[in-house]
Amino acid sequence: MKITLLGAGAWGTALSIAFAGKHDVTLWSREEDVAVDLLKNRENRRFFPGHKLPPSVAVSIDFADAVSGADLLVIATPIAGLRPTVELLHAMASTQPILWVCKGFEAGSGKLPHQVVMEVLGENVVCGALSGPSFAEEVATGQPTAVALAANNPAFAREAARQLHTTRLRIYANDDLVGVEVGGAVKNVLAIATGACDGLGLGLNTRAALITRGLAEIARLGLALGAQRDTFMGLAGMGDLILTCTGDLSRNRRVGLALAENKSLPQILEELGHVAEGVYTAREVDQLARKLGVEMPISAAVAAVLDGRLTAAQAVDQLMARDPKEELA
């Protein structure tokens, strides 16, 4: 199968490496300097240093050339780059099926990725999300990884999962696109919260409570948006949440750790040097939850800290001061 990865950040590069042994892969870069580095040194020293691109992977800065002839397009931009990318596809009248690996709600509109894609390309586009507990670093080095692939077409989800499955990247088909996207989006917000609690030295009890109650928040919002409850007990729900909240490679967790040190958000993002989707998703999740009447106190607290309305320590005090409730109500 001919696959084109649209976006040469960490994820686009990692998936190019992962798929190269089985498929004909092209990696498109918007940044000319990144493409030149990849062509010359076979390494993405700007966004993903230390990982060599296989010789078989083609590198392109010509969008139309990279897209034409592909059997499958995989958008590997941050969520902010999703709409501009599908608008380019719309201008080309592209009809190829599309997957994306970005996670979050679009800033400003509060839309999930599939809503953005279908708004631009129409209701008939075949599209889906690849999501689950996976760090790009470990995928690139061939560490065993399992993720979910959900699409608006169940037959496509099953076939794409079968085709993309490798000996090191196990892919499970899923028919709950909304649930997979919600799980992938909100877990980043909760990773910020967990990082902040760990940074404050609040202990393992606190971390476990936060992850568990965070999963309840994910499920409440997902169900309100039409997702299936079982999805949140799987790879794109609990699996991704645990990894992002506890793994040292998590950018969102690192944001939380820095917030616990009372660093300013601009300073944190400058030091991070990469996009941390939870920073932008937190506000959208908080606004959407309020609009839908869904109780999400942890997500609301993260949004308040990011907006400078609370410190991390004040947010913890506020959460612990809430009235007792029934756990499963």
* Overall average pLDDT of the 25-35 stretch: 96
pLDDT of residue 316: 94
Query: pLDDT band at residue 44, thresholds of 50, 70 and 90?
Result: very high
Q: What is the per-residue pLDDT for 13?
A: 98
The answer, yes or no, to whether residue 308 has pLDDT greater than 80, is yes
pTM, full prediction: 0.96
- Determine the topology of domain 2-175 in CATH: Rossmann fold (3.40.50)
Catalytic member of 52, 187, 291, 325: 187
**Is position 103 annotated as part of the catalytic site?**
no
* Residue 254 scores a pLDDT above 80: yes
Cβ burial of 167 (10 Å; 0-12, 13-18, 19+) is exposed
CA dihedral 29, 35, 38, 41 (to 10 degrees): -170
Local confidence band at 21 (pLDDT 50, 70, 90 cut-offs): confident
The whole-angstrom separation of Cα 225 and Cα 259 is: 30
pLDDT at 273 over 90: no
Which residues of the chain form CATH 1.10.1040.10? 183-320
Nearest to 200 by CA among 315, 72, 42: 315
Q: Is pLDDT at 325 greater than 90 in this prediction?
A: no
Q: What pLDDT score does 184 carry?
A: 98
Chain segment 61-71, per-residue pLDDT in tens = 999 999 999 99
> Where along the chain do the CATH 3.40.50.720 domains lie?
2-175
Q: What is the pLDDT of residues 197-247, one digit of tens each?
A: 999 999 999 999 999 999 999 999 999 999 999 999 999 999 999 999 999
Residue 329 has pLDDT above 80, yes or no: no
CA distance 226 to 301: 25
Crossing angle (nearest 10°) for helices 277-292 and 203-224: 60
**So what's the pLDDT on residue 35?**
96
Tell me which residue of 33, 98, 88, 41 sits closest to 61, measured CA to CA: 33
CATH 1.10.3720.10 fits 183-320, yes or no: no
Is 80 exceeded by the pLDDT of residue 83?
Answer: yes
Least confident of 39-43, 170-174, 190-194, 321-325: 321-325
Tell me the two tokens of residue 199.
Answer: 């940074």
**Mean confidence (pLDDT) of the chain:** 96
Q: State what percent of residues in the chain have pLDDT above 70.
A: 100
